Amino acid sequence: MPSFNQARFIERSIDSVFQQDYPNVELIVMDGGSTDGTLDILRHKSKKYEHLEWTSTPDRGPGDAINKALQRARGEIIGWLNSDDLYLPGAVWRAVQAFEDHPDWILCYGHGQHINAKDEVIGVYPTRRPEVGLRGFVAGCFICQPTIAFKTSMLTMIGNLDERQKTSFDYEFWLRAFAAFPDRIGFIDAIQAQSRLHEDCLTVKMRRTVAVEGVRLTHQYFGEGAIHWISTYLEEVRGEMSSDVFVEHALRLISELGPCLAAEQLRSLRASVLESV
């Protein structure tokens, strides 16, 4: 569990781990130096939960924090839960059972929900089953990150998270896994976890970076960037800027990503921006 200044959520996240009905669970929290009361919560919870281990020290971001935790994990099956997300009851047991039933699987995932700061369900994650394969990621990320579980051996074979990705380290990890093990990805047909959307989460706070990294990763893996990452981002921010500022911002972004896009994609994006004002 990577953590940084999530005191208003982390207690519920930790409880969702240790309230699982599977007995052999350890939780490693790598905190990036929180100053908002998170450490007091961690001290309190580590007294309550014997298998909660935590460290607080500056890091280079969540990818770095997760990689550090992965090196300390002792289990044969690993998942990661952000410090504002929640496991649903039975999630760990279902993952363990899935691997027992399918010993060839190296990674599995399930359905996910979006929740808000009040724990209210606000949407269903657009999950797709593994049968869509690696090419399925061209249309977007279809794995809700906290629903995943994978065998420790996978890290030995494909390595840790790519810390160069500031927001899309999970997406890049799925791409690598699907490319390496196309026949060893499994699916749990149940709602496994809830991913929280709020003003301080990476998905919201770093929307531009999400879009840029999405285009660059699809270009890297498929030879051509997927423009829906840019289109979605621009649609989200259009109402937050004046028309002239929006056009300048959009055209600068499109130009920056030009090397990852085909000529027709560039023409389409520029025309869409100019027609929208």
The predicted structure's pLDDT at residue 204? 67
Our count of domains for the chain comes to 2
CA atoms within 13 A on the CB side of 155: 21
- 247 plus 170 within the same structural domain: no
Token output for 206? 């770093």
User: What is residue 52's three-state secondary structure?
Assistant: strand
- 74 plus 114 within the same structural domain: yes
Could you give the C-alpha distances from 28 to 20, 51, 79, 219, in angstroms and in order?
A: 16, 8, 11, 34
- 189 plus 215 within the same structural domain: no
What are the start-end ranges of the H helices in the chain? 10-18, 38-48, 62-72, 91-101, 152-158, 169-180, 202-205, 207-222, 228-237, 243-256, 263-275
Single residue among 178, 196, 214 that ends a domain in this structure: 196
Residue 74 lies in a domain: yes
The predicted structure's pLDDT at residue 61? 84
Supply the angle between the helices 207-222 and 243-256 in degrees, to the nearest 10.
30
- 255 plus 175 within the same structural domain: no
- 176 plus 113 within the same structural domain: yes
- 252 plus 154 within the same structural domain: no
Single residue among 168, 196, 224 that ends a domain in this structure: 196
The predicted structure's pLDDT at residue 201? 63
The predicted structure's pLDDT at residue 276? 73
- 118 plus 237 within the same structural domain: no
The predicted structure's pLDDT at residue 143? 97
- Residue 80 phi, psi (nearest 5): -135, 140
R_g of the chain, CA atoms, integer Å: 19
The predicted structure's pLDDT at residue 59? 86
The predicted structure's pLDDT at residue 203? 65
Residue 230, Cβ neighbours under 10 Å: how many? 25
CATH of the domain at 45: 3.90.550.10
- 192 plus 214 within the same structural domain: no
**Can you list the residues of the chain whose pLDDT is less than 70?**
200-204, 277
Q: What is the largest CA-CA distance in the chain?
A: 59
User: Domain span at residue 236?
Assistant: 206-275
Interval 228-250: pLDDT, tens? 999 999 998 888 889 999 999 99
- 105 plus 228 within the same structural domain: no
Single residue among 162, 196, 230 that ends a domain in this structure: 196
Residue 52 lies in a domain: yes
Token output for 124? 């269903």
Residue 201 lies in a domain: no
* Alpha-carbon span 164 to 150, nearest angstrom: 22
- 188 plus 217 within the same structural domain: no
- 166 plus 258 within the same structural domain: no
- 69 plus 134 within the same structural domain: yes
